[in-house]
Amino acid sequence: MKIDRLVSILVILLRRKRIQAKELAQMFEVSVRTILRDVEAINLAGIPIVTYQGANGGIGIAEGYRLDKSILTEDDMADIIATLKGAAKTLPDRRHEILMEKFKSILSSSQLEAVNSKANQLVIDHSPWGDDKSLKAKAALIRKAIEDNKELEFTYTDIEGGRTARRVEPYSLILKAQKWYLYGWCHLRQDFRLFKLSRIGEFTVSDMSFVKRKMPLEEYPWESEWQKPKDMVSLQLIFERVMKSIIVDFFGSDIEELEDGRLLINACMPENNWLYGFILSFGDQVEVINPPHIRTIIKEISEKIYRKYI
């Protein structure tokens, strides 16, 4: 059951005295039975929906019941529209744009002008600079597989470069730090796993359907997988003073300035090849102080790079 369809049906019922279930089914390209289930959900939410018989019959809100259209303030509407704009920008899905228009349709011209003005005060754009259309297309296909309860088959390259064939039951499509991830049940690992979309290759949507498993209890279970204690390392890094504006972007403002003007950062990060590359990306503007084994690894990698150019 889709929340955007429920909201859309409610908006239609606010605007029209009654409408036939068959017409709603055609609008949303679902069965009449699905529409009747949606209507029952709206009814259970406390909005009395009745069915009128006869030639001019159909589904409508019970006579005498008044749903206050101002239950959402202009600020509420502005925040919703700003969020929907951000979602539409990030993932190609016509439904976000349609839902925005449906929200706007219940507003007067003066209200719409005020809401649009407030919506433009907050712009949410999670998309990276540039436009990776292939990654967005992959995300859209995965979202459809999640909706249809279809398994995915793909090859996956992990952070260490290992390549494995995976069969996954998809549950959530996640946009975090401008990167797309898939969260689902992996048959190879027999557990829920997080997959970075950019590392998914040879991707196909299977004809195999699946029954949803019980999800982990925490609200965002992938967070615990992302920051497993055994993978984390406490770092002490010293940056040259000229790097201050850049390191604030990465580490925030919790920076200790040393007597010589250099900047000390204490951070806890996952230890893997990405970390080594991240440190090396700062060139000679950073020095690893602790832990000693990370200092040694960076030294060895730097020596290998040097030998390539002599």
The CATH number of domain 229-308 is 1.20.1300.10 = no
Report pLDDT digits (tens) over 37-56: 888 888 887 788 888 777 77
Burial status of residue 12 (CB atoms within 10 A of its CB: 0-12, 13-18, 19 or more): middle
Phi, psi of 49 (to 5 degrees): -105, 130
All residues at 6 or more sequence positions from 189 whose CB lies less than 8 Å from its CB, including other chains: none
In terms of pTM, does the model score above 0.85? Answer: no
Query: Could you read off the pLDDT of 217-266 as tens digits, one per residue?
Result: 566 666 666 555 557 889 999 999 998 888 888 887 778 889 898 999 99
Burial of 207 (0-12, 13-18, 19+ CB in 10 A): exposed
Q: What is the pLDDT of residue 124?
A: 66
Summarised one tens digit per residue, pLDDT across range 102-140 is 666 666 677 777 777 777 776 666 666 666 667 777 888
* Ranges of each domain in the chain: 3-61, 77-119, 133-222, 229-308
pLDDT higher than threshold 50 for residue 1:
no
Q: Is 306 exposed, middle or buried (0-12, 13-18, 19+ CB in 10 A)?
A: exposed
Q: Which CATH class is domain 133-222?
A: mainly beta
pLDDT at position 216:
67
Q: Which CATH number fits domain 3-61: 3.30.450.90, 1.10.10.10, 3.90.226.10, 1.25.40.10?
A: 1.10.10.10
Read off the amino acid at residue 90. T
Which structure tokens are listed for 127?
Answer: 């998309």
Rounded Cα gap, residues 43 and 39, in angstroms? 6
Residue 302, token pair as written in the block: 């730097």
